[in-house]
A = this chain, B = another copy of it.
């Protein structure tokens, strides 16, 4: 095992984790976990007293400015040195805020992601995007910092509530629609999750290698997210958080209609893509679940905004898409009135 293999797929997490520590001469690893992963996942790595632990409350609400401060303070209390590694054991919320703390603490310490959710394994833990929510806007403050390694161990999925497991499928379906006919076929042939995870992880990693800072092709992964992030932020601001996967599924549905409206995809392609989103992700609920106007302010503060229009990544056929498509707000209103 290389010390810095970017993706390490592990079927024996305890052994592989400690081997990584051994190779990198780490004696008492510093682990960041949340209240859930402390209880459900950490035992798979070993007894608590083998680690220096930092534990934060779970949930998107804690991906905050205040929690980032707390986290930096905790690293300081543990007297973490600038050459020590922070292991982050958790889902997307934890790898986002944990990676950011690792980027900022003493101008940067190495970090290793150990995703414990399907969402983390196929998407969130790979690619180096870190962030907190700020002023009510999702991921508004952050930085791109690559982890030394991302250790992917599907065994952790057994600890996951069904709802989290389901919601990650949004990102998988997204990749299939926008950038991978091969993945589309895998899904439609009921390939096992053990096949799908490494496929998605490698796919994400390859895109990031081509475009780390999201200037071009990596933007494909924003499909469903321009609308989806706004939906997620809206519910969060009302103190009724929904899962990222649910919001993105709703976002993809809208953006599929948009792609059809601007004649980027045919009616036949729309039908195929809509079917997989509606059936697999949304229990056939073909509503936006929210007034479009409610999302306007959030979307115009979103990072994808340029001038008065909004930018979308949209499919052009199954497994292929384009990024940076500028759409006026009025067009969205039309799509909303026609398709819903």
On A, residues with C-beta under 8 Å from B are: 65, 69, 72-73, 76, 79, 81-83, 103-108, 129, 131, 134-135, 137, 139-144, 213-214, 301, 303, 305-306
This protein's copies in its complex: 2
* 6 pairs, CB–CB < 8 Å, chain A vs chain B: A72-B134, A72-B141, A83-B306, A105-B140, A105-B141, A107-B214
Tell me whether A107 and B76 are in contact (CB under 8 A): no
Which residues of the other chain, B, contact A81 by a CB distance below 8 angstroms?
A: 305-306
Contacts of A144 in B (CB 8 A): 107-108
Take A65-B69, A76-B135, A107-B129 as given contacts and tell me if A303 and B141 are in contact as well, using a CB distance cutoff of 8 Å.
Answer: no
A326 CB → nearest B CB, Å: 13
Task: Please provide the 5 A-B residue pairs with the shortest distance between their CB atoms, ordered closest to farther.
Answer: A107-B142, A106-B303, A104-B141, A76-B135, A82-B303
Q: Least Cβ distance of A34 to chain B in Å?
A: 22
Contacts of A305 in B (CB 8 A): 81
A103 touches B143 (CB 8 A): yes
Pair A142/B104 contact, Cβ less than 8 Å: yes
CB-defined contacts of A142 to chain B, threshold 8 Å: 104, 107
Q: Which of A83, A135, A143, A301 has the most CB of B within 10 A?
A: A143
Q: Provide the bound-state CA to CA distance between A65 and B76, in Å.
A: 15
* A83 contacts across to B, CB distance below 8 A: 306
| CA distance in complex: A140, B103 (Å) | 12
Return chain B residues, CB-CB under 8 Å to A303. Answer: 82, 106-107
